[in-house]
A and B are shown apart, each in its own frame.
Chain A
Amino acid sequence: MKRLIASACLALLPLAAGAADLASAIGQKLARPAVLRGAFEQSKQVNGFAKPLRSRGVFLVSRDKGVLWDTQKPFASRLRLTRGEIVATQNGAVSFQLSAAKEPTVRMINELMFSLLGGNLQALDNYFAIAGGQDGKAWRLTLTPKQAALGKVMRRIELSGDQYVRAIVIDESNGDSTRIAFSGQSAAPATLSRDEEARFD
């Protein structure tokens, strides 16, 4: 059960980190907008697959509401993370749903996310040993799981960026590796459009 939950948290971490800000040691450098939008490009090497899987899309992080993660290519699918729920939809139909009422860990995941968004390294510190360095505007962090149980799922997470997180690399213990690059991040407009608002409700 533990592994189940641990991996659920971990799967979220890179997203949260990439979406907004991590570092509080490096936190000064990071912008902390109320709403952040941008594009991502992901390359995932899956164990037993001959070629890497490439995908791209756009994302939005609202400090108050949560996260929207839309994959556009090669398959359109949408993911929404709010305080009490994680919902994935594909072709308008829900393909995956996890609510805090059924899975209490969802709340913990959110707690973690919001502390990430707030640049609170302390929460991350519970789970990871953090190492890193900086060079002018640029910085780089390596997160290594502290507990053996997490280590069984995730070997390492690397984050790098400047005023925004620009890249994440996740090495999973089963040999899968995912690299996400972010681009076109923008803090304006600082409010949600009506459509975006509606997607959170």
Chain B
Amino acid sequence: MTELGGPSRAHRWLAAAWLALLLVVAGHNGWLWLGGGARLETDILAMLPQNRQDTAAQDATRQLADAGARRVVALLGASGWNDARRAADAYAAAIGASGLPLALRYRIDARESGDWLGFYAGYRAQLLGDDARHRLANTPVPTLAEQAAAALFQPVGMPRQGRWQDDPLNLYGQWLGERASQSKVRVRDDRLSLSNGDQHYALVMLEQQGPAFSVSAQQAMLPALAKARQAALAAAPSARVIEAGIPLFAAAASTQAEREVHTIGAGSLLGILLLTVLAFNGVRPRILVTLSIVAGLGCAVSLTMLLFGKLHLITLVFGASLIGVAENYGNNYYAYRLGRPAGERWAMLRGQRSTMWLAFATTAIGYGLLALAPFPGLRQMAVFSVTGLFSAFATVLCCLPFADRGEMPFNGFSQAVGNWRRAWPRWGRNRFTILFAVCAAVICLAGLVRLQANDDVRALQNAPRQLLEDQRRVGELMQMAGPGQFFLVSGASPEQVLQREEALKARLAPLIAAGKFAGVQAISDWVPSESRQTADRALLQRVVFAPGGVLEQAAGLLGQAMPSPSLPPLRPLTIDAWLAAPVSEPLRAQWLGRFGTGYASVVMLRGLAGPAALPALAAAAPAVAGVRFIDKVGEISGLMRHYRQLMTWVIAASYLLVLAMLWRRFGRRAWRALLPTLLASVLTVALLALFGQPLQLFTILALLLILGMGVDYGVFLLADADPRAFLSVTLAAAGTLLAFGLLALSSTPALAAFGLTMLLGISLCWLLNPLFTPSI
């Protein structure tokens, strides 16, 4: 019973059902976001294929990162220690006066360093360095005795703890010295300090208190630090201040993001509003189009949460880019409404429906193909995008006409824009075509020759250069172990973990000797395994303290009568005792404790010269049971490369499928709707290469979007020579450029790459499409 000019009964039912569904979705979203049911995943490693091993790697990485996430290190340097000290005193005082919840670690009193040595003193007979162990086992006792005696006459030597007769070879002093040499930080004048050549630095460590990752707390630090810097320079004008730490990066990133959201976001919103008002004589169409997009996003979030249980931040960001595509449907509807009485809208919609379906299907296919990829992250993106697109599309088809009222005159602005299409030259046997083909070919060739890919996740860092430079400098000066690469050591018991660490260190010794890296930072350096402690004590007893041993012979050489020596009883140094003592503070985060079904620790690497050493390190891990080498930076970069390559294939396959669909509708003319987009994409990649921009995952993601949108333009233009078709395309393109093209101005490299690709690609799609479609 279809009444001409009105909605069919089926349409009414469909619209009501869809509206009801949207209300349910809105309720679900409200519960998710307001009720705290939404779990937003931010770890990029969560996008990797899941298996148990990677969960362990992720947990380990996270635990390590959490430990460093609150800490800021400030180095106050000067050519004289007194200046450095004065600057640091002023700096620390200013931080203390700021009233912020920051724990200061700066002055170390004598009691604290006394505790440090005191902790180990009770275990000294069980602690041998690698060199000492080798020396005791392989040197004849008379030689050792002579060395022990001669050391008493030396004016300089390793400082000795306690009496000569308790440790004639000063093995404990040597052990302490070896521990000390793992760090360049020393206590000087009761302050933390380090020296590098002629420069002296005083160290101030700050730790944020209160909830971690609070953006406002991180940003509140910045003015306090700036004040502290001023105070330091006022106290010692020649001093230099170097600050580093994750909170600084986080604060810089959020400040920058806020600024960009404000400027870029405001700019694009204003532009889009202005365009809509100019074209459609009011904001009502804009509000309704926006509502259709909101409906799409809401459905996408609901379904993704239902299917996956959580939502990844990257999915959300990428999914939000649907706005650009979903715009096309609403814009198309309103463009065709122009100049028609409101009563005709149902008939108009029926006429447009097949074109819009085709436009939707060609876009959805690209996203749908993502679901075939063996990566949970891509699957999530696929579900999110297709759901979002479909829901926005369905909202436009079902509900928009009901909310649409009144006359919409085809105003001068809209007609002018629609008629621009006539200005385009036609593709065919003419001079323009030859010129264009030659230019395009030259650009493509020149660009593709220079094409390079870059998947290094470090290229995505968007921190200010000064901050990066300071971070590098602090890492270099303090010889800190980086969190990017490490060994994960696991075992059934703490003892087994420590034994495996020791086995691993033995494996790594040749690599350290070869200069591949400076050394390791491992718990077992500070708490040897119990079996090693027992063995070392037995060795010491046999070689040094037994009758006829080093002590007795050395005493003989010196002509001294010695009371019979005795070694203190074995009292194993346990990991629990160590963890409970202040001495473990710098390394505590490396003990992961109960981990999965057993225990685990992290062995970190100091002074890694560069990525050249990584394969050798990775090769060392499998030789010891329970040890894995984890290269987080490499893993993420590898992940990005994988995604990029996979997406490239997805795009290629999408082109073929889209062509097949277009063929069904347009037959032999189908290429006209696809070629402009293909050409635009290739030219975009070539131009990016000419600008020196490497190909990366975010470029490819943009190319998939460009395929979705560009083909829509082709479909609309090819289906209809009406100026309204071109108006709809132009508005959609302008909206997309305003929303995404402006991202090219972003200082976040990933967003800038995405934005620049969109800017070039969408502009070219808009420029090229009319060349291949009839204009009358």
Residues of A at under 8 Å CB distance from B?
Answer: 1-5, 7-8, 11-12, 14-15, 42, 44, 46-51, 53, 55, 69, 71, 74-75, 77, 79, 81, 86, 88, 90, 95-96, 98, 102-105, 107-108, 147-149, 152-153, 174, 180
Q: Which residues of A contact B162 (CB under 8 A)?
A: 174
Whether A103 and B180, one on each chain, are in contact in the complex, defined by CB atoms closer than 8 angstroms, is yes
B138-149 near A? 1/0 per residue, CB < 8 Å: 000000001101
The 9 closest A-B pairs by CB, nearest first: A2-B187, A7-B159, A75-B150, A55-B153, A2-B113, A102-B181, A15-B155, A77-B150, A149-B110
Nearest CB to that of A175 among chain B residues?
B163
Whole-angstrom distance from the CB of B122 to the nearest CB of chain A? 17
A105 to B180 Cα, complex, angstroms: 11
A1 to B152 Cα, complex, angstroms: 22
Whether A98 and B158, one on each chain, are in contact in the complex, defined by CB atoms closer than 8 angstroms, is yes
Of B259-267, B545-553, B558-566, the one touching chain A = B558-566
Question: A95-B147, A103-B177, A147-B189 given as contacts; is B165 within 8 A of A48 (CB)?
Answer: yes
Whole-angstrom distance from the CB of B202 to the nearest CB of chain A? 14
Pick the residue among B146, B152, B559 that contacts A46 (CB under 8 A). Answer: B152
Whether B159 and A51, one on each chain, are in contact in the complex, defined by CB atoms closer than 8 angstroms, is no
B207-242 near A? 1/0 per residue, CB < 8 Å: 000000000000000000000000000000000000
A32 to B147 Cα, complex, angstroms: 35
Whether B153 and A153, one on each chain, are in contact in the complex, defined by CB atoms closer than 8 angstroms, is no
Q: Which residues of B contact A5 (CB under 8 A)?
A: 180, 186-188
Question: A71-B150, A75-B149, A103-B180 given as contacts; is B186 within 8 A of A1 (CB)?
Answer: yes
Question: A2-B187, A71-B150 given as contacts; is B108 within 8 A of A103 (CB)?
Answer: no
B174-197 near A? 1/0 per residue, CB < 8 Å: 001100110010111110001111
Nearest CB to that of A54 among chain B residues?
B153
Q: Which residues of A contact B116 (CB under 8 A)?
A: 1
Nearest CB to that of B147 among chain A residues?
A95
Whole-angstrom distance from the CB of A52 to the nearest CB of chain B? 10
Question: A1-B186, A3-B117, A77-B154 given as contacts; is B159 within 8 A of A104 (CB)?
Answer: no
Pick the residue among A11, A48, A107 that contacts B155 (CB under 8 A). Answer: A11
Q: Residue B49 at the A interface, CB < 8 A?
A: no
Whole-angstrom distance from the CB of A162 to the nearest CB of chain B? 22
Whole-angstrom distance from the CB of B546 to the nearest CB of chain A? 20
A79 to B151 Cα, complex, angstroms: 11
Pick the residue among A74, A96, A105, A174 that contacts B186 (CB under 8 A). Answer: A105
Q: Which residues of A contact B159 (CB under 8 A)?
A: 3-4, 7-8, 11, 153
Q: Residue B317 at the A interface, CB < 8 A?
A: no
Please name 10 further chain A to chain B contacts, defined as beta carbons within 8 Å, in addition to the given A11-B157, A71-B154, A75-B149, sorted by A numbering: A2-B108, A2-B113, A5-B180, A69-B156, A71-B153, A79-B156, A88-B154, A147-B189, A149-B190, A153-B159
Whole-angstrom distance from the CB of A105 to the nearest CB of chain B? 6
Pick the residue among A1, A48, A77 that contacts B180 (CB under 8 A). Answer: A1
Q: Which residues of A contact B559 (CB under 8 A)?
A: 51
A105 to B187 Cα, complex, angstroms: 11
Pick the residue among A42, A96, A149, A180 that contacts B157 (CB under 8 A). Answer: A96
Whole-angstrom distance from the CB of A98 to the nearest CB of chain B? 7
A–B pairs, 17, beta carbons within 8 Å = A1-B176, A1-B180, A3-B117, A4-B177, A4-B180, A11-B159, A47-B163, A49-B558, A51-B559, A53-B152, A74-B557, A77-B154, A95-B147, A104-B184, A149-B110, A174-B162, A180-B155
Q: Residue B164 at the A interface, CB < 8 A?
A: yes
Whole-angstrom distance from the CB of A76 to the nearest CB of chain B? 8
Q: Which residues of A contact B158 (CB under 8 A)?
A: 8, 96, 98
A12 to B154 Cα, complex, angstroms: 10
A53 to B271 Cα, complex, angstroms: 92
Q: Which residues of A contact B151 (CB under 8 A)?
A: 95-96
- Most chain A CB neighbours (cut-off 10 Å) among B154, B156, B195, B561: B156
Whole-angstrom distance from the CB of B619 to the nearest CB of chain A? 27
Question: A2-B187, A149-B110 given as contacts; is B163 within 8 A of A104 (CB)?
Answer: no
Whole-angstrom distance from the CB of B436 to the nearest CB of chain A? 64
**Within B546-598, which residues are at the interface with A (CB < 8 Å)?**
557-561
Whether B195 and A107, one on each chain, are in contact in the complex, defined by CB atoms closer than 8 angstroms, is yes
A11 to B157 Cα, complex, angstroms: 7
- Most chain A CB neighbours (cut-off 10 Å) among B159, B162, B196: B159
Whether A79 and B147, one on each chain, are in contact in the complex, defined by CB atoms closer than 8 angstroms, is no
Whether B153 and A108, one on each chain, are in contact in the complex, defined by CB atoms closer than 8 angstroms, is no
Q: Which residues of B contact A8 (CB under 8 A)?
A: 156, 158-159
B66-110 near A? 1/0 per residue, CB < 8 Å: 000000000000000000000000000000000000000000101
